Structures are given as structure tokens and as C-alpha cells.
Amino acid sequence: MILTVLLLTLAQDPPSLLVGEGRGEGANAQPDDAGFLSADGGVSDAGSPVTDAGPVAPDAGVTEAAMGPLMPGPAGVERDEPGWLRWAGWVMGSGRITIGLVPIFLPTVYDDVLFVPMDQRSTNATLQARLFGARDAALGALVIAASQSKTWLFRAALLNASVDLSDLTMTAVTALSDRAMQRTALITGSFALGGLLLWSLLAWLTY
């Protein structure tokens, strides 16, 4: 009985899986040159379903507003900040790179500026200073790369301020624990304090 009802249903209403339902074409629809079923078969030349309102675009309904705003960075750059902020990012980033290059290429000058005691100068100390310089150069390059976006410039400035704060903390610990390195620690700490204030100001301006 169930089989009889099913056969009667199929005879009165062909299944919707047959191409061309409601258009009188059925299985006679032929693919066009592009490999898609023609409009008579229920599919447009572009391969999109055909509705009563016409062919539907493949990306219909997908707009930039639906996708959300582009993230700042290389793929989508925000340019909502004043030009002087970009220049400030370039100047401060270049300054940090310069500070980083000094211990890498001029380690003796670096030791002299910081008044590092002669008995504290060694190959290992030079290596540590060069690692410090590489870190500063990388931080400066990050600021320059982020200078086209107010959001990313704020983040880069905040990162630099955090690094200078950690440097200031370490120099304070050294000044209190090692009298031989006290003057060097105080000079290094003054540089870290100046950097902390400048980067905090830039972060506040871009907040």
C-alpha cells in the first residue's frame, strides 16, 4: 500500500531533483558551452541558480559592511591619524634603530658612553650588548612599520614603553646590588626613563 501511494505521488508531482522542474524541460536540459546548464534548465550561464527575480550573483548579499572593517596592517591600512603622528612614529622608530646599531657596530663607543668599567668589558659582555642592540633595532623597525596605522602605532608605542620600563627596573636592581656597576646602571636607567616617557606620550597621543 505504501508503495502504491509513493508511485501515485511521483506520477502527480515529479521530484524536485529533476533539473528543469516547473519549466517543462526536465531531463532534456543541455549544458551550454561553459559547462553549466542553460537558463532553461534552471541554472544561469554564470552557474548561479535562476530565480523568478533573475539570476543570483555568486556574491550577492556579501558586502564590506557585512564582512566588517578591514584590520589595520598591510592588508588594510587605516589612515585616520594626522600626518605628524606618522612622522613621530618614523622619527622615534629611527632613533631606536640607531641606538640599537651602536652596540652592534661600535661596542667600544657604547661601553665608553655608559662608563662600563674596564674589568667588566669582555667578549661575553660585548655579545650581550649586541643582543640588546638587535632587540632595540627590531623594536624601532616595528614602530616604523606600524606608523601608517593609528591603532598599530599605539600598540607599538605601548610595547616599547613596556620594554623601557623593564630596562629601568633591571638597572635599578643593578644599581642597588652592584656598586661597581652603579654609575653604568644609573646612566642606562636614565636612557630607559627617557624612552619610557617618550613612548608613553606617543601611546597617549595615539590612544
- pLDDT for 81 equals 57
Q: Kindly state whether residue 106 falls inside one of the protein's structural domains.
A: yes
Give pTM, 2 decimals: 0.62
Q: Is residue 169 predicted with pLDDT exceeding 50?
A: yes
How many domains, in total, are found in the chain? 1
Q: Kindly state whether residue 73 falls inside one of the protein's structural domains.
A: no
Helix axes 83-105, 182-205, angle to 10 degrees: 160
Q: Kindly state whether residue 115 falls inside one of the protein's structural domains.
A: yes
- pLDDT for 63 equals 46
Residue % of the chain over a pLDDT of 70: 60
Degrees, nearest 5: CA angle 84-88-94? 140
Label each residue of 78-96 as H, E or C: CCCCCHHHHHHHHHHHHHH
pLDDT digits (tens, 9 = 90+) for 14-38: 444 444 444 444 444 454 444 444 4
pLDDT digits (tens, 9 = 90+) for 40-85: 444 444 444 444 545 544 444 444 444 444 444 444 444 455 688 8
pLDDT digits (tens, 9 = 90+) for 110-167: 999 999 999 999 999 999 999 999 999 999 999 999 998 999 999 999 999 999 999 9
Domain containing 172: what range? Answer: 83-205
Phi-psi region of 54 (alpha: psi -120 to 50; beta: other; left: phi over 0): left
User: Rounded to whole angstroms, how far apart are CA atoms 196 and 26?
Assistant: 75
What cell was used for 102? 651602536
